[in-house]
Structure 1
Amino acid sequence: MQLVRWSLAGAALLLLAACGSNQIEPKPPKPRPNDWRQIITTADRDRIARWRAAWLGGLDKATAAGNGPQIAAQGALLKPDFALDDPLLPPGDYGCRVIKMGAQAKGQMDYIAYPFFSCRVTAQDGRLRLVKLDGSQRPVGDIFPDEGRRMIFLGTMMLGDETRPLPYGRDAERDMAGIVERVSPRRWRIAFPYPRWESTIDIFELVPKG
């Protein structure tokens, strides 16, 4: 009888071991694509494709409204066809501000330059991530490699006291798509053509702190 009990116990252990060996291992998460063309929405792809028309249109409206001297004072920052090699933004803290050109509606300003706020660039999971840290409108998103002298920003706009950004592609009113370029040894810009609110083009300037 004891031999039978041992045999049954051994069989049970073998059965458990066999069941354990047949368990399906959880699949590792799929790596996030690092090609902006696989991520960008149709609407934002169109905005990026028409960036130059937006820029020239914004400049024309801003200049016609008497802002020529302010535009000239910005030098290369507001010149659409000027960019330097190596647009990669080094991780670190930046001063950042936005210049809006070309009002979308009557009664709005055709040129406005906001004061500097604080931004941060970090490297996360093989991507560069940009976060504006203060202010009532705070772009948050990723920066992707591209051809030539530019990179591509895809992200969303955080508003007011929000503490977490919406995922890109969730809300078209919050989605942001821009072209990242370097315009001097320590000066970058992101051009946002046809933003959802206020202007024809936004130029987001970034200057490293320290």
Structure 2
Amino acid sequence: MRGVLGAAVLVVVAGSAVAADRADWRRVATKEDRGRLRRWRDAWVEAMAQVRASEHARAAAALGALVDGDRALADPALPDGDYRCRTIKLGAKGMTRLRYVAYPFFGCRVSEGGSRLVKLDGSQRFAGRLYADTDARAVFLGTLMLADEARPLAYGRDRARDMVGIVERVGPARWRIAMPYPAYESLLDVVEIVPAG
């Protein structure tokens, strides 16, 4: 993956310095997050089954490749620049929660040679690192920032704030991060990322 692969470098993960091989996210990911990634397909199948059985089936189907777990193109690397991103929550952990929620787009930015991703605005923001994995996917490790917090916690300090996801390109200029079993509400969060403007 051009521009994302690298040798051992000093990586700053959500504000904390971690010596790691950027291509090996496994050295940085928590045990819990490695487990969530291993079960990504289970999360996807269960979440989409709930959505298809709900009144939101048509809205989810309209998202096309974004919610197709088997759709990914080669070269998932995100070039540096400004993007628009939105979160779509699929499935629910409890019976009373919504099975589908699509939030509006907010500003996001990729920097540091395609290795850092930050959501710039909104009441819930994320910041973290993008790690090379295969020719068709990268891995995101980050943390959640709330309300007026100016800086993210270091990844690995708070399990409820840690975020992990599979980064894939699903169109010529369209990416997603699939986050299985997030800490809150849903079974799967899909973050859609498209260029700004």
- Displacement of 1:59 in angstroms is 0.4
Of the three residues 184, 188, 192, the one matched with 1:201 is 188
Is 1:123 aligned to residue 112 of structure 2?
yes
Q: 1:45 aligns with which of 34, 37, 55?
A: 34
1:83 has 2:72 as partner: yes
1:146 aligns with 2:133: yes
- Could you say which residue in structure 2 is the equivalent of 1:19? none
Q: Deviations over 1:119-175 (max 9, x none)?
A: 000016xx6100000111111100000023000000100011000100101111100
Q: Which 5+ residue runs of structure 1 have no aligned equivalent?
A: 1-29
Instruction: Indicate the structure with greater helix content.
Output: 1
1:175 is the counterpart of 2:162: yes
Instruction: Give the secondary-structure state (helix, strand or coil) at the position aligned to 2:115.
Output: strand
Q: Distance in 2 between matches of 1:136 and 1:148?
A: 33
Q: Are 2:76 and 2:135, in contact at CA under 8 Å, matched by a contact in 1?
A: no
Counterpart of 1:164 in structure 2 is 151
Superposition TM-score, scaled by structure 2 size: 0.88
C-alpha displacement of 1:106: 2.4
Cα root mean square deviation, aligned: 1.2
Q: Which has the larger radius of gyration?
A: 1
> 1:192 Cα shift?
0.2
Give the length in aligned residue pairs. 179
Equivalent in the alignment of 2:13: none
Provide runs of 4+ in structure 1 moved above 4 Å: none
Partner of 1:104: 93
Normalised TM-score (structure 1): 0.83
Deviation at 1:71, TM superposition (A): 1.4
Equivalent position of 2:14 in the other structure? none
Determine which structure has the larger strand proportion and give its number: 2
In 1, Cα distance between the equivalents of 2:137 and 2:82? 20
